[in-house]
Each structure stands twice: as C-alpha cells, then as structure tokens.
Structure 1
C-alpha cells in the first residue's frame, strides 16, 4: 500500500486532527480498493491467491492505523476505521464487531459505521441485528449501501410464506431506490437483480421477471467492481439456465469458478446442467427408449378427441377473446412463438433431476418427430406420464445446438410457461396443477 503523508501537529478540532482523520480514512479506503480492483492488477490465474493477498494488506493497514490512532483524539473515527479494515474480508471478525460497536456508541451519527456493523452481524448470522443497523442508518441518511444491504437482509426474514413474500417484494423496492441514488453502481444493480431472482423463486416463475433480473445483472457487469464478483456470474448463470440459454449459463459458471477457485458451487451447478442436458438429448434422440411396437401403438391412438376443448379449432384467451388454432406437426413449427398453431403428441418419457423447475418430458407426434417440453409453474408432485396425450397451443420453440468442451448437445425444445394452457388426455388442466405462490428456494449468496 502507498505511504501516507507525514502527520502534522495535532490539536482538538485543528488542522492536525483533520489530517490524521483523512489519513485514517485513506488507509482503509486503499484497502477496499485493493480488494475490489484486484483483477485489474493481477491475472485471473492468481484468483486463488486473492484472499491471502487481501489479508496481507489488512495486516499492513492495521500497523499503520496503530501508529495513527495514537495521535488521533477522535476515538469514534479510530474505532470505525479499524473496524472497517478488519471487516474487509468475507469472514466474521469479532474484533471488527467490537470496534464498530464502540464507534456507534461514541457517535451514533456515523452511517458508515452502522453499515459496517450491520455487515458484521450479517456475517455472524444475526440477521435481525443486521436489519436494525441498516434500518437505523437509513433514519440518518438515505444511502445506497444501507438500502441494498437491507434488501439482502429482508429476503432472509420471515418464517411464514406470506411474510416472506412480502419481505421479498419490499426488498425489490429498496433495491430500486439504491439504484436510483447511483445508477452507475454495479453492486446496487447486482442486488436488485438478486431481488428479482428471489421473486422468481418465490413461486412466480414468470419469464418477464427473469428478463428484469437479467437486465439488472447486465447493468452490474458494466461496473468493473461488480464484474469481478463471482456471485454475479453465478447468479447470472442461474437466470440464463432458466431462460434456457444453456451455453451462456455454462460460460458464466466457468467465470464464477475462475474468479473463486475455492468455491465448489459453480462447478456443481455446471455438472447438474450438463447431466440434465445429456438426459434430455438422449431421451429425445431415442424417443424415450420405448420399444418400436409400443411407440407405434401409442402414436396410432392419437385422434381429434385428444385435443379436447381445442378440437373446435380455437381457444379462449384470458381476456375472453376467441383465438383460432390450426393443428400442425412438430416438424413444421418455426423457431420462436408459433401463433395460432397447435401441436399434439404422446409423452414418451420424463426427465428426473435434482431441480424441480422445470418439469421436463419428451413429446412425439404422429409423424414420429420427438421434441423436449419444459413445463414451468407446475404444482409439486404433478407431471405427465408415459402414454399421456398432450396438446400445446401456440408453442414456443427453440433449437439447442452447441458444444461445451467435449460434449455436444442437439435437440429441439418447446417451453410452456404454465400448465393451464395444456390439454392432457383430452382435458384442460385446472388450477390445482399450477404452482401456488410460495417460497420454493432461496437465492445464492451476495
């Protein structure tokens, strides 16, 4: 770290006091700059060394702070800056908690001390105490750090599903305010993206929410500090996975692993997705590995009656409008949304994975063409079974075709946002087959 200027004469409230306070702050600010801009000065191949390098810089900073605090009469500032220095790593530090607690007792107006104290409690696992610190800081100043930290905390509070959902919605509101205070701060955009991701996993598996989440993450990536955060790439990969942009998801999990080689979650998620894609490709290619005789018997049984309420050549939209439908084959579908088209086929198999979203099955039509189908917002414990006839109105189609390292994936995929549009065995699925709006899982670390 760079050396600071020589300390001038010290006097209570005089120029010497101001100079020392400035040096205390600069010393710790440089420590955070070293951490946040590490990869601007070091290659990504040194990522495994980052934590140790930061700890070494902390030791240097503490030594300098020890010298400066001897000539600084403002003990609140001394405690705050020492607490900040010890709080720079991701680990909980009891001394940092002690220093910051002393700082806010001596000077309750120190917003930065309250924010760091809240982060200490967060690392310790005391979420309620962390919330009190951030909320208290906001009564003194509406600042982006308190707001985005409060957003993170809110998503961890509440045992009742209704309360948790309310907290998640509030977390979006405060994260938006943090962004509005500084639209160039990538960390605030990252936290807003995480808030949207929590909304998605709260049960509302709406593609529009994922798009809002992705937009926030893209904004975050424009900031060099946020871009170096492995959590950003991990969470962005999660969104890309559910947007079914599989190749990009794998790339961002790769980046998360590169930025933090000690973190095993990204490689675990990669393995899960690669296993899933391999299973889907295999089931589509082999049409569920059904025996030819059984498959032909199933396909021959398909008839107009399997269309159920869609058999009349139209369906009623949510607005009550009649929408015309034309039956077609899987092979004749175009990439993207196929408006006014209807496909019918037999389920030949489903894919069992560790993740419950989405429910995935393979559908084969009368011509023998087989596509994968991903079904979102489906109720727990519901899924189609082999032999079910399924009609899908206005199917959204994409073709998966890419190679990741030594593995190649190639298959066609229909995405269905809600089971309510499906007709299974000639009957329209009811509300009992749609997932209720309850918290399904939590987001990753921030």
Structure 2
C-alpha cells in the first residue's frame, strides 16, 4: 500500500471557477507547489514510478512557464519570480542539478528579497555538497526576517554539518535552537515540530546515546507534529518517532510506528525495523527461558556477597526496587549472558542478583566489549521497570534495569575505562 498519487498539475483548459484573474506566473507557481506535494507524499513500491511521475509533472510545470507571454516577465521582479520557479521545478529531483542552481542564482540577484528563492538555492547547493555555502543562503534569507521554513532548513543543515565535525555538539545545539525558533513562530505547524523532534533525536546520539531526556523531548515534539493533519502523509515522522520509542525501549509503540511508516513508504525499510525488534524480544524471551539450573545459579549469586561498596548506597535486590528511578540504592549483579542483536543501543545482558533472581540489564553509553559474561556489576541509582510489549497476539514481559551512563555502573568493582565509553553515530532521517 502506498500514499495516493496526487492529481497532476493542469497544463491546459479553463481556469477553475473563481481563478480567472490569476496570472500565468501564479498558475505556474501552483504547478510547482503541486509538483513538490507529489514529491513529498507519493511513495510507490517501485522508485522508478515516482521518478517518472516527477519528470512528467516537471515537464508540465515547465511548459506552463514557457507559455508565459514576454510582457508578463518584463520587470526585474517578474523575471526574478520566473527564474525562481524554473529553478525550483528543476530542483525537485533528489540529485544536484547545475541548471537549477543557475536559475535560482539569477532569481536572488534579480530580487534579493525573494526568500523562497534563497531557500531553494540553499537546498540546491546543499545537494552539491557545499554545506557552508548552503548555510550562507539560509542566513541571508533570515536577514530579510524570521521565517519558519528557513529556520527548519537551517536546523536540518546544521545536523548534517555536525556529522564528523569537531564542533558536533555545538552544531547540534544550534540546530535545536533554530528548531525552537521555528516552533515559536507557528506553534501549530507540524513540520516545525517534526524538525524539533529530529534535532533532539540527533542530540541523543551525538551525546553518546544515554540522555533519555533528549528522547522524551523528541517523542513529545513528534506527537505535536502528528496533531497537524498535513503531516499524516510524512512517513519519516512515523519512522523517526518509532526510532525514539525504540531507544526508550517502548517496543510496542515503536512497532506500531514502524508499521505505519512501512505502509506509507515501502522504501524506507521500516518493515526491517519491525523484524529487528521482534527478533530482539524473542531473544530476550529465550534467554529468560533458558535460565541456568538452580545449583549453578546459587554459585553465581554467591560470588556477589563479597562485594563491598565504598559509597553510601544501600544494597538492594530486584524485588526491592520501585518502578522508575531508585535513588541512593545499588543493585549487585552477575552477568550471565550477552544478548547480541542488531541495534546500536542498548546493550542487553541477562543478569542475576543476590536473591538469585534473573533480570534484563540494558546499558547505554558503553561499547559492547566493556562488559563480559561472568563479570560482576554494581548498578547505582537503578532505573527499574517491567518491560511489557504485545504484538500479533504475543506478549513479552521482563524485569529490567536500565543503565543510562557510565558513571552509573562499576564492572568488577572498577569504573568503565575511557576506551569503553561509546559515541553513537546514528541520526534522524535528514533530507534537504
């Protein structure tokens, strides 16, 4: 199933009722807008079908432009709009188009106050790979006045610039600030909220994939984006929100989100994400079912009794924990099994405590060689929950402790070595 293909822009015939007075330039602008709506909402299973639809729509829109009488593009302002529309139409395709850049450059020279032309020129140059020049275009556009579309594109560009940069965290923080500015300009605009969600999701990974506050901000922004009905056709919104839910271990919500994204755009690979989560849940369930014999378990648990805490934290077992964060408490655990899976984070282990109770240990911010099977761990301020997810008539339930950052854990009575601290490199779907 794919999104319904929008009707192609009209190329001839009578004007719709009430639109007789519209100029040829305005009709061409409508055709360009319709072309971009097709780009952003039409996701067939065969990418060639979309490419052909875009080519046909672009040809029709260019034909409208070419039919504009010379007297309607005499003034610099009219010529600026004409060049802008030609460049915008040519730039609808995913790859960089030199002719599009040439027309858009002419447009901003003829009419420097044409903000949408600066926006399109920045996007075109971004595709070429010249990110600093693209940022300059967006900054020049903002010098004409605040604009939510420009702010969102600038925010998105800064996230792209952050990848591999020494100023990664600073650029992502700037991205968040520009996203916030866009939301303030129009609190009901779904795209601005969506962009903010992406900024916080990227910030989560740039910071080492441990700060769940960023994930909660991200999900909240995506939920606000969903309130705008115009966003219902954006598959990336559902995909990225599901990604945030996945790292929050809200697996049932993540599964629903990935399924929705797969229905809207089969090419996103969201169905693969569904398979990964189900595979992970099955592995967790199988690990619990394959618990060791009680005699071996007693031996494992007894090795924990010799651990002496140097802090004021009170020793506790899994049975004594409350749902959520348990302050001034430490759980001693023995790592029984590393559960290998396909996601960047968290790391999953089957562990047991002093009471010989099994639980799932999920660890963020560490590399997968930091903790080995057989290691003793001390978990400070443990975040406890019952991981509960249902999908396709099957229910998964596990007791779970989450470790958000390296300072929250000792491994064999020692803090994790600096080389074991992870820095993730995943980003939200981010397209110019």
- Are 1:36 and 1:225, in contact at CA under 8 Å, matched by a contact in 2? no
Q: Aligned residue for 1:321? A: none
Alpha-carbon shift at residue 263 of structure 1 (Å): 2.8
**Counterpart secondary structure, 2:427:** coil
Q: Aligned residue for 1:402? A: 389
Range moving further from structure 2, 159-168 or 190-199: 159-168
Aligned length: 412
Alpha-carbon shift at residue 354 of structure 1 (Å): 4.0
Residues 97-142 of structure 1 show CA distances to partners (whole Å, capped at 9, x for unaligned) of 2321222232222211111111112233332332222122122232
Alignment of 1:246-325 (within 5 A): 246-264=251-269, 266-287=270-291, 290=292, 293-303=295-305, 305-309=306-310, 314-315=312-313, 325=314
How far apart, in 1, do the equivalents of 2:53 and 2:276 lie? 33
2:30 to 26, 40, 53: 26
How far apart, in 1, do the equivalents of 2:256 and 2:69 lie? 47
Residues 53, 158 of structure 1: alpha-carbon distance in 2 compared, 3 angstrom cutoff:
closer
**Counterpart secondary structure, 2:310:** helix
Residues 154, 45 of structure 1: alpha-carbon distance in 2 compared, 3 angstrom cutoff:
closer
**Counterpart secondary structure, 1:306:** coil
How far apart, in 1, do the equivalents of 2:69 and 2:343 lie? 53
State yes or no: 1:195 paired with 2:170. Answer: no
- Are 1:371 and 1:411, in contact at CA under 8 Å, matched by a contact in 2? yes
How far apart, in 2, do the equivalents of 1:207 and 1:262 lie? 29
Residues 243-262 of structure 1 show CA distances to partners (whole Å, capped at 9, x for unaligned) of 11011112211222211112
**Counterpart secondary structure, 2:171:** helix
Alignment of 1:112-191 (within 5 A): 112-157=116-161, 161-191=165-195
How far apart, in 2, do the equivalents of 1:164 and 1:337 lie? 30
Alpha-carbon shift at residue 390 of structure 1 (Å): 2.5
1:386 to 365, 373, 377: 373
Q: Aligned residue for 2:250? A: 245
How far apart, in 2, do the equivalents of 1:374 and 1:48 lie? 42
Alpha-carbon shift at residue 236 of structure 1 (Å): 0.9
Q: Aligned residue for 2:407? A: 420
How far apart, in 2, do the equivalents of 1:64 and 1:116 lie? 20
- Are 1:307 and 1:423, in contact at CA under 8 Å, matched by a contact in 2? no
1:435 to 407, 421, 426: 421
TM-score (norm 2): 0.83
Residues 53-91 of structure 1 show CA distances to partners (whole Å, capped at 9, x for unaligned) of 454333332222221254522322111112222333444
How far apart, in 1, do the equivalents of 2:391 and 2:203 lie? 30
TM-score (norm 1): 0.81
- Are 1:361 and 1:384, in contact at CA under 8 Å, matched by a contact in 2? no
Residues 444, 38 of structure 1: alpha-carbon distance in 2 compared, 3 angstrom cutoff:
closer
- Report the aligned-residue RMSD: 3.2
Residues 129-185 of structure 1 show CA distances to partners (whole Å, capped at 9, x for unaligned) of 322221221222321122111111112225765412211111111111111112222
Q: Aligned residue for 1:336? A: 324
- Are 1:277 and 1:409, in contact at CA under 8 Å, matched by a contact in 2? yes
- Are 2:28 and 2:61, in contact at CA under 8 Å, matched by a contact in 1? no
Residues 252, 309 of structure 1: alpha-carbon distance in 2 compared, 3 angstrom cutoff:
same
How far apart, in 2, do the equivalents of 1:248 and 1:46 lie? 28
Structure 1 unaligned residues grouped into runs of 5+: 7-15, 316-324
